[in-house]
Structure 1
Amino acid sequence: MEQLRTIIEGIQNNKISFWIGAFIGLAIILIVRAGLHAVLNKVIKQKRTQLFLETIVNWITLFILVIYFFMYFSKTSFIYQTLFVFSNTKITIFLILAVLFAIILAVKFSKAIREYILPSVYDKYGLDRGLQATMNTFFHYTIVTLAVLISLSSIGFNLTSLTVFASVLGVGIGFGLQNVMSNFISGLIILFERPIRVGDRIIIDDTIADVEQIKIRATIVRTRVNERMIIPNSYFLEQKFVNRSYTDKRLRIPVKIGVAYGSDIELVKRLLYEAVDELREETWPDVLDQPAPRVFFEDFGESSLDFTVWFWIDSQIDEREFLIPSDLRFKIFKKFSDNNINIPFPQRDIHVISENK
């Protein structure tokens, strides 16, 4: 260590060689990191183990970079040069870099905990996906906030200076940040009150979407055509929307069918019930027997007798609410064909009258 420090001090006496040495050292560290990642990709085949070891390598690399930086630049004057004074606290490059390193470490620490430790806790206590997302978000921002405060206090930053920043921020909010803060506070309310949760299926302006991620400012949802909508959090507290998964994830699905006039309506009713039962037994156990399916004679249409069959499914995840009705229509069509039940289509008779003059 003393030899390394001696070499660094020698390099620092020459400005050109100083910066060349800095870049060479940085390049060596990054090359070694890339080499270790390549070795892990070849040697380790299990994906989860590979990711875990790569995370450890990234952590070690970051620590080495921090140590290298402060050892290399410790004797330079510019790193402690005052950039500006903020409420009697001198802001230097060292202070900015220290806070930046603390934030990076906090983010990496939070990510490692959320990926490798918290999932086992969630599984142990059987927490649902929405609550997991809430706890992950809360844990992440708590760790980052604590890291910033601790790093500032440890390097001599006067935390009472933050009261000045808070007052300035308050003025900014009053003039131009109302929407930002509204969405921020709405995000906190959503995380704790949970009117929507990750995994919920919602309907916004007749668009069906699944909640993918709830952030502090906005919520990301995925539509049926795999598009992402970014919706401000305040929307969910101020506007009307449908949350199909709020208390009960079961869904009642109607399938409409018309048969020709003169058809045996009792036979039609029996065939519709049989189609639902066979669908549940053969293909989709998601179709519930309780609440029981229902068949309704809806109306006397212009060209058909209109029926509707209702049935319930136990979940709205994936695309089941669209796949199951489609499969039921295939089955109904086949049953009607086998039993000579006709499905009519609108017809118009046109009479042409010609007049002989």
Structure 2
Amino acid sequence: METLRDMLEKTRGFLEIPILKLGGSPVTLWAIIQLVVLVALLFYLSGKLRTWTVEQFLNRTRMELGARQATGSIIRYTVIAIGFVVILQTAGIDLTALNVLAGAVGIGLGFGLQNIVNNFISGIIILFERPIKAGDRIVVGNVEGDVVRIGGRSTTVVTNDNITIIVPNSKFITENVVNWSHNERRVRFRIPVSVAYGSDVGLVERLLLEVAAGNPDVLEKPAPGVRLMEFGDSGLCFELRVWSTTLIHRRGLLTSVLNFAIYRTFAEHGVEIPYPRRDIHILGNRHNDQNVPLPKQELDNDQFP
């Protein structure tokens, strides 16, 4: 029993040995261990608080998911800032003595950690201004997908291939961002369609509107529309314009379904979809005195339409 007590006394004495001084206050090994444990506990509890705020407390309100997550993140950062100051004082560290250290850390952040600080500040701006929010369909650079989480340093985006892409928050501040659902989840799709010259344009318009009306993902209001855009080289260029709220995250699917239906409908009503045609004139060999025509197999070559 006395041996255990002696060991505890020696351990306590070792932990209370001053390692350095901040101002007039000595900093011991015990204070450092206490500081590390409390900071880790602070981050853990603040994360639990954010989760409870988003999924339990704010879930009872009418706030949308993006607003709840933004509020939860702001609460977490506030708790971390206040808790860190309280922990420093609890550990017996004089905050006034950290001015010089803060200046040195600031210089280090300016040179070595500027990207991390930039992304963190950008994350705070995103949470307050909310140009994007969880659940939005966005395009930034070569990344397109749904925003699932906005963190302090980066934003998590999931593509249609179920691939998770971590995008630095500064990308959303410094680059052009396409947000398909910023105002509302109602987006207009433009489907280009070409028909041969001589086609009944009234019939083409009616068939395109019927195809749009028969698709459950196309909205009735605003109503679909058909526009004759230009007289192309090979045919008349129409554009079917439809609105949808259900497939903005899978635009290729809606375009494909409408194109399949347009092709079948045109085939049933005899509307021709043109393809490029070229007239090729083959001249005789000027150096051939006998003016012998070219062999027939060359004229019937499959490469000529």
Name the aligned partner's letter for residue 310 of structure 1. R
Aligned counterpart in structure 2 of residue 354 of structure 1, from 284, 289, 301:
284
Instruction: Name 1:271's counterpart in structure 2.
Output: 207
Offset of residue 272 of structure 1: 0.6
SS in 2 for 1:114: helix
TM-score of the aligned structures, taking structure 2 as reference length: 0.81
State the distance in 2 between where 1:236 and 1:164 align.
34
1:117–1:247 CA distance, 2 compared to 1 (3 A) = closer
More helix by share: 1
1:147–1:73 CA distance, 2 compared to 1 (3 A) = farther
1:122 and 2:53 aligned: no
Instruction: Name 1:245's counterpart in structure 2.
Output: 181
SS in 2 for 1:197: coil
1:298 and 2:234 aligned: no
Aligned counterpart in structure 1 of residue 265 of structure 2, from 335, 341, 353:
335
1:299–1:317 CA distance, 2 compared to 1 (3 A) = closer
Instruction: Name 1:131's counterpart in structure 2.
Output: 67
Instruction: Name 1:192's counterpart in structure 2.
Output: 128
Aligned counterpart in structure 1 of residue 40 of structure 2, from 104, 107, 110:
104
User: Can you give the 5+ residue segments of structure 2 that lack an aligned partner in the other structure?
Assistant: 286-290, 293-305
SS in 1 for 2:41: helix
Instruction: Name 1:233's counterpart in structure 2.
Output: 169
Q: Percent identity?
A: 34
Q: Do the aligned residues in 1 keep the contact of 2:212 with 2:224 (CA within 8 Å)? A: yes
State the distance in 2 between where 1:164 and 1:216 align.
26
Instruction: Name 1:53's counterpart in structure 2.
Output: none
Q: Do the aligned residues in 2 keep the contact of 1:252 with 1:312 (CA within 8 Å)? A: yes
Deviations 1:137-193 (A, max 9, x none): 222222333332222222322222233333333444555555544433332222112
Q: Do the aligned residues in 2 keep the contact of 1:87 with 1:164 (CA within 8 Å)? A: no
State the distance in 2 between where 1:207 and 1:174 align.
29
1:73–1:345 CA distance, 2 compared to 1 (3 A) = farther
User: Could you tell which deviates more after superposition, 145-154 or 289-298?
Assistant: 145-154
Deviations 1:37-78 (A, max 9, x none): xxxxxxxxxxxxxxxxxxxxxxxxxxxxxxxxxxx7994332
Offset of residue 84 of structure 1: 1.9
Offset of residue 323 of structure 1: 1.4
Deviations 1:67-124 (A, max 9, x none): xxxxx79943322222222233322221122122212222332233333453122221
1:205–1:151 CA distance, 2 compared to 1 (3 A) = closer
Q: Do the aligned residues in 1 keep the contact of 2:22 with 2:93 (CA within 8 Å)? A: no
State the distance in 1 between where 2:175 and 2:254 align.
31
State the distance in 1 between where 2:127 and 2:283 align.
72
1:230–1:207 CA distance, 2 compared to 1 (3 A) = closer
- Pairwise CA RMSD: 2.8
TM-score of the aligned structures, taking structure 1 as reference length: 0.70
State the distance in 2 between where 1:118 and 1:227 align.
25
State the distance in 2 between where 1:316 and 1:326 align.
12
Offset of residue 253 of structure 1: 0.4
1:290–1:271 CA distance, 2 compared to 1 (3 A) = same
Offset of residue 206 of structure 1: 5.8
1:165–1:253 CA distance, 2 compared to 1 (3 A) = same
How many equivalent pairs are there? 287
User: Can you give the 5+ residue segments of structure 1 that lack an aligned partner in the other structure?
Assistant: 1-5, 15-71
Instruction: Name 2:31's counterpart in structure 1.
Output: 95
State the distance in 2 between where 1:232 and 1:73 align.
50
Instruction: Name 2:302's counterpart in structure 1.
Output: none
Instruction: Name 2:198's counterpart in structure 1.
Output: 262
1:150–1:157 CA distance, 2 compared to 1 (3 A) = same
1:102–1:276 CA distance, 2 compared to 1 (3 A) = same
Name the aligned partner's letter for residue 252 of structure 1. R
Report 1 or 2 for greater relative contact order, CA contacts < 8 Å, sequence distance ≥ 6.
Answer: 2
User: Could you tell which deviates more after superposition, 90-99 or 114-123?
Assistant: 114-123
Q: Do the aligned residues in 2 keep the contact of 1:221 with 1:229 (CA within 8 Å)? A: yes
